[in-house]
Amino acid sequence: MALILELCLIGIASGSIYAIGAMGFVLIYKSSGIFNFAMGEMMMIGAYFLYTGMVIFGLSLYAALPLALLASALLAAGMERWLLRPLLGQPHEVMIMVLFGAGAMLRGIAGMVWGHDILRLPEILPRKPVFIGDILIPGTLFWGFLMMIAIFGGFIVYYRFSRTGVAIRATADDQTTAECMGINIRGMFLFTWVMAGLLATAAGIVGASVNGLSPYLGNVALEVIAVVLLAGLTSIGGTLLAGAIVGVMLTLIGFYLGGAFQQFMPYLLVLLVMIVRPRGLFGTKLVERI
């Protein structure tokens, strides 16, 4: 029993990382209707930016983290401005292909620059295991989870209550009308990409702290997309619960059935969700077939 509880807690904690990535994904989808299939690679690159600052240039965390966030924000802004803006008005399939391509390029570039070996991030999150009663949780995962929850809460408050949050939601609700009300919707697209880039970096850094850093960290996108679809494409808040569900499921399956099952389970979950409940748990709109 204690073992199952332990696995569940570990699952919830790792699910929170997917949830933050998913939140960035949903943010972009809601504001501009674009499936950002490069989200996983944005997480991966963000973590490499931090690694570069801390390990290669020997900066402290407090210097390297802002720089990594800045670099990811610039990367996200560049992707919006130079990859997607020129395609405005093109069919969505084109944008999806371009983003797949961008993801593959980022993966390739990461391999060329930083190599394909699994690197260890410096110890940002304490590794010392945390005990809750008799249950043991790896330290990085525990503190990473707390960070993810703090970021999640902060973002939800911002999204719900700030004037910019209102403008993002207005743009998500009806782009043309938002523009009529004085909201610069192209500016909003750019802004949501930057926000998503920052969220991706936070999730990527925590993910890399837990599991190590390699160009294939971006494959976590599959879990992220499973979370997105389970939550329903349009639900920002739902990503947390959906993240926990996916995280618990993967941890239990990985433990009892082994890694082979764990690898294709996200696909199976996505498939089941699409068949049983295409709106996801909290979504409002029907997902367009892609």
| Contact footprint for another protein (CB under 8 A) | 89, 163, 166-167, 169-170, 172-185, 284
Distance, CA of 39 to CA of 108 (rounded, Å): 15
Widest pairwise Cα distance in the chain: 58
Minimum CB separation of residue 96 from another protein in Å reads 21
**CB 185, min distance to another protein, A:** 7
Closer to another protein by CB, 131 or 161: give it: 161
Alpha carbons 108 and 113: distance in angstroms, whole number: 9
Q: Which of 103, 283 has the CB closer to another protein?
A: 283
Q: How far is the CB of 182 from another protein (least distance, A)?
A: 3
CB of 160 to another protein, least distance (A): 9
Please, which residues have CB within 8 angstroms of residue 14's CB and are 6 or more apart in sequence? 141, 210, 247, 250, 251
Phi, psi of 119 (to 5 degrees): -100, 160
* Min separation Cβ 52 and another protein, Å: 38
Residue (180 or 275) nearer to another protein, CB: 180
Shorter beta-carbon distance to another protein: residue 60 or 284: 284
Q: Which residue's CB is nearer to another protein, number 166 or number 271?
A: 166
Q: How far is CA 162 from the centre of its chain?
A: 22
**In terms of CB distance, is 58 or 176 closer to another protein?**
176
- Minimum CB distance to another protein, residue 124 (Å): 37
The single-letter code of the amino acid at 228 is V
Cβ 166 to another protein, closest distance in Å?
5
Residue number, 147 or 236, with CB nearest to another protein: 236
Q: Cβ(95)–Cβ(34) under 8 Å?
A: yes
